[in-house]
Amino acid sequence: MNSSSKEDLMRESQGVYEIGESEVFHCNQNGAFGKGILLGEKCFRVLSGSVGRTEAADSCPPQVKILREKLVKSGDVKVQGGIFTLQADRDFSSSSTAAAFLTGYSRNGLAVWKNSRGKSLKEVLEERRAELTDGKCLRTVVSDLLFCNQNDARGTGVLLADNGFRVYRLSVGRKEMAESCPKLVAVLREQLIMSGQISVEGGHFVMQSDYDFDSPSTAAQFLTGYSRNGLDVWKSREGKTLKQLKDAATLP
């Protein structure tokens, strides 16, 4: 994995979605009072209105300190005395980076973030793994977080070792489908609506759970409603396409 993906902010939140309280995790440590949601293995979203501690300890990662200064200058963080308030949802590369950002200390996000029942993020993830009773093998993730920002779609996902593609929950897709979009994609959309795995909101739909597609292209078509080459649509946070990443031999 690219080590830089573990160091800083992934992207500004985009899209429309609704969150149940059971999905929200809380960070109440060192004067910080934050709320966030887990989007996938490599993305944790801290919600607007979360409050952090302005003072940063020596243990706080340098990249987190730099990011704080950057967001203060941009107006994305508002400082009031010894605390600051996040003015918009922000996505981080890990729950630990998110926790360090709010508390000003080096923190293990799996232990810091807890849900409304008091269970840590680590405990919740262990419960989810235990619920995998359908015989499926856990598929290996081979890329950093990738983004689909086309045709009113705002999706996040990762490439899998078998060239499948996992789209993360809360990704937003375009409801309308063009004639060029494969019929199988339309059928799959209907199936996932029926099963409750996607919810329709106006002209968009929202993924309610992670979903593994057979290829990056199918994932891109599912979200955009057009016939699309996933190698061109999915991009890294630096703006490199999945094709460019593969050609550079940084991905299998």
What is d(CA 125, CA 128) in angstroms, rounded to the nearest whole number?
5
| Contact in structure between 161 and 140 (CB atoms under 8 Å) | yes
Q: What is the pLDDT of residue 144?
A: 77
Which residues, given as ranges, of the chain have pLDDT below 50? 1-22, 131-137
Task: Supply 231's token pair.
Answer: 């190698």
Tokens of 179: 């004639």
**Biggest alpha carbon–alpha carbon distance for the chain:** 57
For residue 101, what are its two tokens?
Answer: 């950002």
What's this model's pTM, rounded to 2 decimal places?
0.55
pLDDT of residue 57: 93
d(CA 118, CA 59): 26
Question: Residue 100, SS3?
Answer: helix
DSSP state of 19: -
- Alpha carbon separation from 55 to 52, 69, 82, 209 (Å, rounded): 9, 12, 7, 36
Domain parsing of the chain, residue ranges: 3-130, 146-247
| pLDDT tens per residue across span 125-174 | 776 655 443 444 456 777 778 889 988 898 988 888 888 899 988 899 99
* φ/ψ of residue 83, rounded to 5: -130, 165
State the Cα–Cα distance between residues 94 and 38, nearest whole angstrom.
Answer: 9
